[in-house]
Chains A and B, each alone.
Chain A
Amino acid sequence: DMKVTQMPRYLIKRMGENVLLECGQDMSHETMYWYRQDPGLGLQLIYISYDVDSNSEGDIPKGYRVSRKKREHFSLILDSAKTNQTSVYFCASSPGTGGEQYFGPGTRLTVL
């Protein structure tokens, strides 16, 4: 069964702490994504990864960085988290056939 997993599902951090969000996929997809979703703003693209060590900024990369050392694994890192980074974060992967992305269940991050 094709699957995108995210860990952790819920996370509470204090302002200034570092945050690591992990994403995995078992479909050997080359392209992976990180989004955040906020009420009224819809889905905003943070980063795209086209393959191992091949990452590009999305629409809102400021305050975030990513790491992809294996095709099946894509991490989102917040160095010194801010309260305005409180959000639900989604990871997705794409088979590259156009129009399709497969999303994980999301991580709800609260920064106090």
Chain B
Amino acid sequence: TQTVSQSDAHVTVFEGDSVELRCNYSYGGSIYLSWYIQHHGHGLQFLLKYYSGNPVVQGVNGFEAEFSKSDSSFHLRKASVHWSDSAVYFCAVSPLPGTGSNRLTFGKGTKFSLIP
């Protein structure tokens, strides 16, 4: 059974601050790890993913995420946030393609907002 835990329901920072959104997972085999962003009133948008290689992966708009096998984590970071980054962020895991399932398991999401 795959599980994805996003421990922070809501994160708030000032514009220009850095942010880290946490994601922990449990799964018994090889997986893809992904992050998605959902702006209010819109669908989810793919940000980045990791499968193997360099544990730090770069995404769009200055986002990056770091995989840690020892911590079973895949935290999302951004060095300097902007108002347009306010959204809900979802972490997801999926098995390897061709293993019988193409489905993603999503976390509950972290709502990220900036302090006015």
Contacts and interface: CB of A to CB of B under 8 A. Distances in A.
Contact of B32 (A43, A58, A92, A99): A99
B49 A100 contact: yes
Contacts of B92: 99
Interface string B93-106: 01011000011101
Contact of B49 (A50, A98, A106): A98
A58 B105 CA distance: 11
Q: Give the secondary structure class of A's interface.
A: strand
Q: Interface residues of B toward A: which range?
A: 20 to 34
A73 to B, nearest CB: 17
Most buried by B among A99, A100, A101: A99
B45 A103 contact: yes
Interface in B41-81: 41-46, 49-51
A106 to B, nearest CB: 5
A96 B106 CA distance: 17
B34 A99 contact: yes
A96 B90 contact: no
A43 B102 contact: no
Given A45-B103, A94-B102, A100 B34 contact: yes
A111 to B, nearest CB: 20
Interface of B: 32-34, 36, 41-46, 49-51, 90, 92, 94, 96-97, 102-104, 106-109
Interface of A: 4, 31, 33, 42-43, 45, 48, 50, 58, 90, 92, 94, 96-106
11 contacts: A4-B43, A48-B102, A58-B103, A92-B43, A98-B32, A99-B33, A99-B34, A99-B92, A100-B46, A101-B104, A104-B43
The 3 closest A-B pairs by CB, nearest first: A99-B32, A103-B43, A99-B49
